Amino acid sequence: MRRTALPDMIRDMSESKAMILGSSGPTLIPDEVAFYREQRPWAFILFARNIVDAQQVRDLVAAMRDCAGNPDAPVFIDQEGGRVQRLRPPLAPNYPPGAALGALYQKYPDAGLRAAWLVSRLHAFDLRKFDITADCLPVLDVPVEGAHDVIGDRAYGKEPGIVTLMGRSAMEGLKAGGVLPVIKHIPGHGRAFADSHHNLPVVEATLDELRAHDFPPFRALSDAPMAMTAHVVYTAIDPERPATTSPKAINEIIRKELQFDGLLMSDDVSMKALSGDFAERTEAIFAAGCDVVLHCNGIMDEMKAVASRTPVLAGDASRRAHLAVQGLAINDGASEAEIRAEFEALFGAVA
């Protein structure tokens, strides 16, 4: 594996605020330029509304980084495959969802693991063409029967062992291409019977049930550089607060029991599972122990409220951020054509 020169991010990150922000459209409007320049977010995230064509995406990413005062500021995207895939043809092929890869694993384990790695390595090729450097993947949630389909076929399977192995392969594929992986949604969204985008899911499983079914993939991949929290209440852990805003869930479960010491980002602060106004939500997220807050929709008034309660990256959060971005300097030098041909031969042509 080839390591290129590390990005000069130590100095640039020293004044960054601990937030990942979206923008409203395919180009930055003047208010966004002024706001980002003033607030210096650590990173950005792209959605379908931000994507028109190849050069436009590159220009948008460059403009975001220029505003943040950091030419190497991480830029995130949700590029899983299946229904959660922001880059679409002609910018990137459509890829199968996690469940399809998991189904291949159940028939042919070696082929399934290889396919999971190949898809992620192809994501890395696709994203790096547009200077996008972080992917919110792999999904390590383990659904149960009857759970809301907000996870559904995004999961690799309904057995923690399968999800663990496939998640590891997917994570390593991204890392091989110099893309920062984010495991999600820690400590597990698979039992949720509601969509946290719209409602607050409450999971009433016992701690023993969570330890047997939900936690294992996150514990096994605790060496991941980043993780995204779940906006889910686990009554056996904290009956009052979702994991994102629960000091007990973060400190006792995520950090201590699951032994995750990577950079911990919240799921989107604008999701309706969280209560309070945006300043209150942000304050609760950092008070609970998250390192970085995520705000996705690009609504300016909301971003201003989030920024008003977001600290500058410092202490353990800064340490974890620096460790996370080191992986962006790694590239295995693989041939995209060969990787793509191998995947299509293994899995079948994708649309």
Phi/psi of residue 186, nearest 5 degrees: -70, 135
Q: Above 70 in pLDDT, residue 349?
A: no
Would residue 197 show up in a list of annotated catalytic residues for this protein?
A: yes
Mean pLDDT value of segment 278-293 = 97
Rounded to whole angstroms, how far apart are CA atoms 303 and 176?
A: 33
Q: Which residues contact 10 (CB under 8 A, 6 or more apart)?
A: 322
Q: Of 213, 151, 165, which Cα lies nearest the Cα of 187?
A: 213
pLDDT of residue 14: 58
CB 116 within 8 A of CB 108: no
pLDDT at 241 over 50: yes
Q: Is 231 a catalytic residue?
A: no
pLDDT digits (tens, 9 = 90+) for 171-205: 999 999 999 999 999 999 988 765 556 568 899 99
When pLDDT is averaged across residues 325-351 and rounded to a whole number, the result is 86
Catalytic residue among 53, 149, 197, 223: 197
Segment 292-313 mean pLDDT: 98
Give per-residue pLDDT as tens, 67-101. 999 999 999 999 999 999 999 999 999 999 999 99
In one letter, which amino acid is 217? P
Please provide the DSSP assignment of 115-134 as one string. HHHHHHHHHHHHHHTTT--E
pLDDT tens for each residue of 33-46: 999 999 999 999 99
For residue 151, the model assigns a pLDDT of: 87
Is the pTM value of this prediction over 0.85? Answer: yes
Higher-pLDDT residue of 351 and 127 is 127
Q: Is the pLDDT of residue 10 over 50?
A: no
Domains and CATH numbers, the chain: 2-61+73-347 (3.20.20.300)
Q: Which of 278, 261, 258 is nearest to 317 (CA)?
A: 261
Q: So what's the pLDDT on residue 275?
A: 85
DSSP 193-219: SS-TTTS--EE---HHHIIIIISHHHH
- How many angstroms separate the CA atoms of 130 and 150, rounded? 28
pLDDT at position 201 is 86
For the chain, what is the radius of gyration of the CA atoms? 19
Gap between the Cα atoms of 92 and 112, Å rounded: 22
Summarised one tens digit per residue, pLDDT across range 147-177 is 667 788 999 999 999 999 999 999 999 999 9
With pLDDT > 70 as the criterion, what percentage of the chain qualifies?
Answer: 92
What's residue 197's pLDDT? 62
Q: What residues pair up with 229 in beta bridges, in sequence order?
A: 186
Under the banding of pLDDT at 50, 70 and 90, the label for residue 7 is: very low
- pLDDT category of residue 125 using cuts at 50, 70 and 90: very high
Q: Find the DSSP H helices in the chain.
A: 10-13, 30-39, 54-68, 98-107, 109-128, 160-176, 207-209, 216-220, 247, 278-288, 300-308, 315-325, 336-347
**Which one of 78, 135, 238, 267 is the catalytic residue?**
267
Would you state the torsion angle of the CA atoms of residues 29, 125, 20, 291, taken in this order, to the nearest 10 degrees? -170
What is the spatial distance between Cα 253 and Cα 260, in angstroms, rounded to a whole number?
Answer: 9
**Rounded distance, CA 108 to CA 85, Å?**
25
Alpha carbon 291 to its chain centroid, in Å, reads 14
The region that residue 323 occupies, defined by phi over 0 for left and psi between -120 and 50 for alpha, beta otherwise, is alpha
Report how far residue 69's alpha carbon sits from residue 78's, in angstroms, rounded to the nearest whole number: 24
pLDDT at 150: 77
Which band of pLDDT confidence, cut at 50, 70 and 90, is reported for residue 8? very low
Q: Alpha-carbon dihedral of residues 319, 306, 151, 234, nearest 10 degrees?
A: 80
Distance separating alpha carbons of residues 109 and 103, to the nearest angstrom: 9
